Amino acid sequence: MQKLFAAYSAFALLIFFDASAAPVMYVSTGDEVAVIDLTTGKVTGRIPELENAHGLAGSQNSEYLVAGSMKPADPKAQSSAIKPEAVSDAEHAAHHAPDTQNKPVSLSSYVSIVHPGHGHVMRRIAVRGLTHHTAVSPDGKYAVAVHPDAGGISVIELERMMVIKELPTGKSANYGIFSRDGRYLYVSNAHSGTVSEIETNGWTVKRAFPVEKEPEHLALSPNGGSLFVAIVGDGHVAMVDIKSGAVTKRFAIGKQPHGVAVSGDGKRLFASSQDEGKLVGIGLNNGSQHNIELQPAPYHIEYVGGINRLYISSRKLPKIWVVDPQSLNITGEIDIGSGTAHQMVVLDR
């Protein structure tokens, strides 16, 4: 096995990219991950072998990225990974084989464990449903796959690369986000109108916050006291007080709100309206709003505190807008070449 990984590492260094530059953004675009150097705003590499990946997550404390799949699993399918000449057919097949030790191969999809440095999929793990979004715990020990069709989550222990828990949360589970200390996971349930609060010590549902009308994307305030929820059904973002579980404020965004993010100082909220083609910036101290037009269909949002920038993808074009969070001026665009930029992960590598 040591010989196998050495061969893969050497091969990846020849064909892939230098992953030492920082900061780096990894973006799921369907059947691959685009790797973007945020210093230059250029795509510097691509990781193939994914299967209709929408969700992508990572942590500074994990060497892996975790990609979900919205494609039903085909247990007879062969991996499309390139085989280095130094690796035998048997070693190659074993290296990319799905993890079926603890799950029957008839389950709905696979979660792909990606090593960004090596530039390929390390393992496929069978999970019980199609995976919309993924999340990785701050300590890098666990990954969560959120299953809309199964109404819950699968919890994956990354060291052993296996599912350790399956947990129902609500109808059309959509998005998951960990608290800053990793003690809690929050999962939105679109057709239940709730957000589940899950204790990660034992993986049990502690509470359900009623927010109504199709909650989807989530963001946490820097101090962890407030949860911001995109409410697709009525074009708002709801602000939930974590301590009481109550909605304390609602901010009008526009039709089909999607991405949400909070500035590093906790003073500004950002949200995208797909149908109205705009990005909304909200002052959380006074409720002031400033909008800019982004066409077409602004989608996912990633706030990068270290360089104080917003990245907003387009649902309909293969590009990402770069926006100054203070002025909301567009400062650049990143051409991802093809596909749609879904979940974005920024790591210092």
Greatest Cα pair distance in the chain: 63
pLDDT tens for 13-25 read 333 434 444 699 9
Confidence of residue 252 (pLDDT cuts 50, 70, 90): very high
What pLDDT band is residue 88 in, cutting at 50, 70 and 90? very low
Interval 253-261 mean pLDDT: 97
Pairing of strands 98-99, 120-127: parallel
CA–CA separation, 108 and 100 (whole Å):
12
Say which CATH class 2-347 falls into.
Answer: mainly beta
Q: Which residue has the higher pLDDT, 77 or 139?
A: 139
Q: What is the pLDDT of residue 22?
A: 66
Among 28-37, 92-101, 107-116, the range of highest mean pLDDT: 28-37
What is the per-residue pLDDT for 87? 39
The sign of the torsion formed by the CA atoms of 267, 343, 314, 214 equals negative
User: pLDDT tens digit string along 190-235?
Assistant: 999 999 999 999 999 999 999 989 999 999 999 999 999 999 999 9
Domain residue limits, the chain: 2-347
pLDDT at position 212: 86
The answer to whether residues 217 and 231 touch, using CB atoms and an 8 Å cutoff, is: no
> Which stretch of DSSP H or E encloses residue 3?
helix 2-15
Q: Produce one character per residue of 277-301: b if its CB has 16 or more CB atoms within 10 Å, e if not.
A: bbbbbbebeeeeeeebebeebbbbb
